[in-house]
């Protein structure tokens, strides 16, 4: 080590030590919340999508306390209904994937039919949920809720079209 470079090496070593201490500190406190609470876990930082949406609609529509309580109840029922139907769809899709290469067209057709029926059930569940939420709203809230629903479908349709264009480009 050259005498001229000695201060440079000392600075580099100090920076490395500071960096290691910082990383160690972050690693040790990674599961603590902003207030230092050890019970705070990474998975608790962001609510599940159905809970995040639960707060979006009442906030946007400015629900009062009674509307909020009723909405929470409807959201829980909706989530449970969707969950069981989505579980059935996942099972059917797995069974359909398992049919690849088996050359059993009747079985495949039956599974596709069952998937279609479950999709109908999903649409019915969502429609009924929207109807139930609409019944909680006053006239101004109903107008705002219709706008929210229409925007949601527009975004979904745009995403679907984008996915289809990407698939077309890949082929």
Distance (Å, rounded) from C-alpha 147 to C-alpha 143? Answer: 6
Q: Where are the domains of the chain?
A: 6-44, 49-170
Residue range 95-132, pLDDT digits in tens: 989 888 888 888 889 999 999 999 999 989 989 999 99
For residue 137, the model assigns a pLDDT of 92
Residue range 56-97, pLDDT digits in tens: 888 889 999 999 999 989 988 998 889 889 999 999 999 989
Looking at per-residue pLDDT, the higher value among 154 and 85 belongs to: 85
Which of these, 149, 132, 164, lies nearest to 60 by C-alpha position? 149
Residues near 106 by beta carbon (within 8 Å), at least 6 away in sequence:
none
Residue range 30-63, pLDDT digits in tens: 655 554 555 444 444 444 554 545 568 888 899 9
| Domain 49-170: CATH architecture, name and number where available | Up-down Bundle (1.20)
Residue range 20-31, pLDDT digits in tens: 777 777 767 665
SS3 track for the chain: CCCCCHHHHHHHHHHHHHHHHHHHHHHHCCCCCCCCCCCCCHHHCCCCHHHHHHHHHHHHHCCCHHHHHHHHHHHHHHHHHHHHHHHHHHHHHHHHHHCCCCCCHHHHHHHHHHHHHHHHHHHHHHHHHHHHHHHHCCHHHHHHHHHHHHHHHHHHHHHHHHHHHHHHHHC
For residue 150, the model assigns a pLDDT of 84
């Amino acid at each position: 080590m050259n005498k001229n470079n000695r201060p440079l090496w000392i600075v580099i070593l100090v920076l490395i030590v500071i960096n290691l201490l910082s990383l160690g500190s972050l690693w040790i406190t990674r599961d603590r919340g902003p207030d230092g609470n050890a019970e705070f876990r990474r998975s608790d930082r962001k609510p599940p999508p159905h809970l995040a949406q639960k707060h979006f609609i009442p906030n946007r529509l400015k629900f009062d306390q009674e509307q909020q309580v009723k909405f929470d109840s409807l959201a829980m029922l909706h989530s449970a209904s969707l969950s069981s139907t989505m579980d059935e769809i996942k099972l059917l899709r797995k069974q359909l994937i398992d049919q690849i290469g088996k050359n059993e067209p009747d079985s495949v057709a039956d599974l596709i039919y069952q998937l279609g029926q479950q999709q109908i059930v999903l649409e019915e569940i969502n429609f009924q949920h929207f109807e139930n939420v609409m019944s909680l709203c006053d006239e101004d809230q109903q107008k705002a809720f219709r706008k929210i629903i229409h925007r949601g479908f527009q975004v979904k349709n745009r995403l679907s079209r984008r996915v289809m264009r990407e698939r077309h480009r890949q082929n």
